Amino acid sequence: MFRAWYLEIMLPETRYTKPETSNAKKPNLNNLLKEIVTAVESYFRAHRFISKYRLWKWIIIPGILYMVLFITGMYFFFTSTGEVITYATHRLGIDQWLQQQENRFLNFLFLMGGFMLRLLMVLFYFSLFKYLFLIIGSPLFAYLSEKTESIIEGRDFPFSWKQFFHDIVRGIKLAARNTLWQTVYTVCLLILTLIPLVGWITPLIILFVECYYYGFSMLDYSCERHKLSPSQSIAFIGRHKGLAIGNGMVFYLIHLLPLVGWILAPAYAVVAATISLYHQGKDWEN
C-alpha cells in the first residue's frame, strides 16, 4: 500500500510546477475541508515513511529535547497562570463582590470565565514556547524536511553553509512575525473571555489559530526549499489554510499521548507537512 502511494506521488503530473500567479485559485470551504483531511492522512503516511527509511534518530533526538522543554515550560506556565488570575481577581475586588452578591448563577459564570481565561493564557504561553523551540530546532527541522523530499524524489539537495544560515534567519523572522500576529489575536480573544457565555467559545477559536500558525511553520520549510520568498510563502499557505490547520490539529492531538506523543509530535509534523504538499501535487504559485 505504501509502495503504491509512493509510486503515485512520483508520477510526473504530481510534480511541482510554477504557473502564472494570475491563475491562482481562491480557497473555499470545500477545498479547506479536503486539505484538512489530506493533512491528517499525511501523519499516517509519515509514520510509514519514517519506519520504512529508518529516520528514527532524527525523530527521537529532537523529540526528547522537546519533551524536556515542554514539561518544564508547562509546569511553570500552569503555576504562574493560577497566581496571575488569583492576584487580578483579588486586586479588582471581584472575589469580595461575588461573596456579597450571594448569587450561585453569577458565581458559576465568573468561575467558568476564570477557567476559560486560564485556559487561554496556557495556550498563549504554549504558543510562545512553541516558537522558541521552532527557532532552536529550525536547522534540524529544515534538514528533516529536505531529507524527506530527497527520498521521495530520489535526489540529493546539495548542502550549503550560506543556505543553512539563511534558513535560520528566515525561520527566526517568520517565527517573530507569526508570534506578533498570534499575540494580537490572543489579546483580542482574552478580552472576549470577560463576556459571560460568549467568552466560553474563545479557547476553541484560539486553538484553531494555534493549529494554523504551527502548521504554517511546518509547511514553510518546503516553501523555502522551492525558493519562495517569505511574502510568497505567506500568500501560498494563506491560500491553502487547510493543510496548515490539519497539520497543527494532529500535532496538538498527539500531545494527548503522554511522553511518547510529546517526543513524536514535532518531527512527525515536519515529515507530514512535506508529504502533504506532495500528495496534493501543489503548484507553488497556485
CA distance 6 to 3: 5
Reported as a single tens digit per residue, the pLDDT across 23-55 is 445 558 888 999 999 999 999 999 999 999 999
CA distance 128 to 178: 10
How many CB atoms are closer than 10 A to CB 33? Answer: 12
CA distance 248 to 211: 4
CA distance 251 to 269: 6
pTM: 0.76
Nearest C-alpha neighbor of 3 from the set 52, 43, 47: 52
- 237-253 burial: b if 16+ Cβ within 10 Å, else e: bebbbbbbbbbbbbbbe
C-alpha cell at 266: 514535532
Q: Domain extents for the chain?
A: 27-280
20 band by pLDDT with thresholds 50, 70 and 90: very low
Per the listing, cell 523555502 goes with 224
Contacts of 95 (CB under 8 A, 6+ apart): 89
Reported as a single tens digit per residue, the pLDDT across 60-85 is 988 898 888 888 877 777 777 667 76
100 band by pLDDT with thresholds 50, 70 and 90: low
Mean pLDDT of the chain, nearest integer: 78
Q: Is the pLDDT of residue 15 over 50?
A: no
C-alpha cell at 29: 470551504
pLDDT > 90 fraction of the chain, expressed in percent and rounded = 20
pLDDT computed for residue 244 by the predictor: 94
pLDDT computed for residue 99 by the predictor: 66
